[in-house]
């Protein structure tokens, strides 16, 4: 029963080409959801879609830059046509580019704000009507926003990244007041350190040293640890909303 608990549901996963997004797509598909995989690297998405299909699942790979409204809207049309109306949206694509603020790395600030905040809101704008439509048919409907422990934590050099994640957490809290009454659940995940490609994009040396140092001294989360709890969250009965999930490595304090 548990294995097929998401049968009949269509899931959209942004940032599905690696890390938490790819693992979540696998977990949702294994439980019976049809999954739409969105990211820019189509080769990665095609590989993941093949894997899911070979395991008996349904997957649609779509090259999408979520910062581009048109690209998102075209993807949404394809998903509705090929898979059906989404009732799960994993709003996960993100980037983390820490550096001392006084170095004025304005391009990095913009990349983080454009993707982690503006694009995340765009994703909700594009798929929100699908979520309410799905809920009207009596099934569970879920918006899962991937925030971070940085939403509440303070770390040197991470001010802009943490601010983008604080925005996502507070956006999620507020959205419950709009979506909850329409039977759409809003859940925010605030993971601690997870071993993914996120850290590979960091260029500031002291931030890199801190992250890769943590990998040596602590057993960090794997993407599958987070994906497992996301799959659990969206497979609860429809009146149960796990709204805020802080998932941390045991030894991270």
Ligand X SMILES: NC(=O)c1ccc[n+]([C@@H]2O[C@H](COP(=O)([O-])OP(=O)(O)OC[C@H]3O[C@@H](n4cnc5c(N)ncnc54)[C@H](OP(=O)(O)O)[C@@H]3O)[C@@H](O)[C@H]2O)c1
Please report, as ranges, the residues that interact with ligand X according to CB under 6 A. Answer: 14-21, 39-41, 44, 64-67, 92-96, 115, 146, 148, 191, 193-194, 196-198
The span from the CA of 9 to the CA of 7, in Å, is 6
> How much of the chain is in helix, strand and coil states, percent to nearest 5?
55, 15, 30
Q: 27, 109, 158, 161: which is the annotated catalytic residue?
A: 161
Spell out where the chain has E strands: 10-14, 34-39, 58-63, 88-91, 142-146, 185-191, 194-195, 221-222, 244-247
Structure tokens at 15: 């940032």
161 among known catalytic residues = yes
Of 21 and 86, nearer to ligand X (C-beta) is: 21
The span from the CA of 234 to the CA of 246, in Å, is 16
Of 4 and 209, nearer to ligand X (C-beta) is: 209
Structure tokens at 13: 């996963």
Of 11 and 135, nearer to ligand X (C-beta) is: 11
Which residues participate in catalysis according to the annotation?
161
């Amino acid at each position: 029963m548990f294995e097929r608990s998401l049968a009949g549901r269509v899931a959209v996963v942004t940032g599905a080409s690696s890390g938490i997004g790819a693992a979540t797509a696998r977990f949702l598909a294994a439980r019976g959801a049809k999954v739409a995989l969105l990211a820019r690297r189509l080769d990665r998405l095609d590989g993941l879609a093949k894997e899911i299909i070979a395991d008996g699942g349904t997957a649609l790979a779509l090259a999408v830059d979520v910062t581009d409204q048109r690209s998102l809207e075209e993807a949404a049309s394809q998903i509705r046509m090929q898979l059906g109306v989404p009732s799960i949206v994993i709003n996960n694509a993100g980037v983390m580019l820490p550096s001392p603020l006084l170095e004025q790395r304005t391009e990095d600030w913009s990349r983080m704000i454009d993707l982690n905040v503006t694009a995340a809101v765009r994703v909700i704008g594009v798929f929100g009507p699908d979520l309410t439509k799905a809920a009207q048919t009596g099934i569970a409907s879920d918006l899962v926003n991937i925030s971070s422990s940085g939403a509440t934590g303070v770390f040197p050099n991470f001010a802009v990244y943490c601010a983008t994640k604080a925005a996502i957490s507070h956006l999620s809290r507020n959205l419950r007041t709009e979506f909850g009454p329409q039977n759409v659940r809003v859940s925010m995940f605030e993971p601690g350190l997870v071993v993914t490609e996120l850290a590979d994009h960091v260029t500031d040396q002291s931030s890199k040293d801190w992250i890769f140092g943590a990998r040596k001294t602590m057993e960090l989360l794997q993407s599958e640890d987070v994906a497992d709890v996301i799959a659990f969250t969206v497979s609860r009965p429809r009146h149960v909303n796990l709204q805020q999930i802080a998932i941390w490595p045991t030894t991270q304090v």
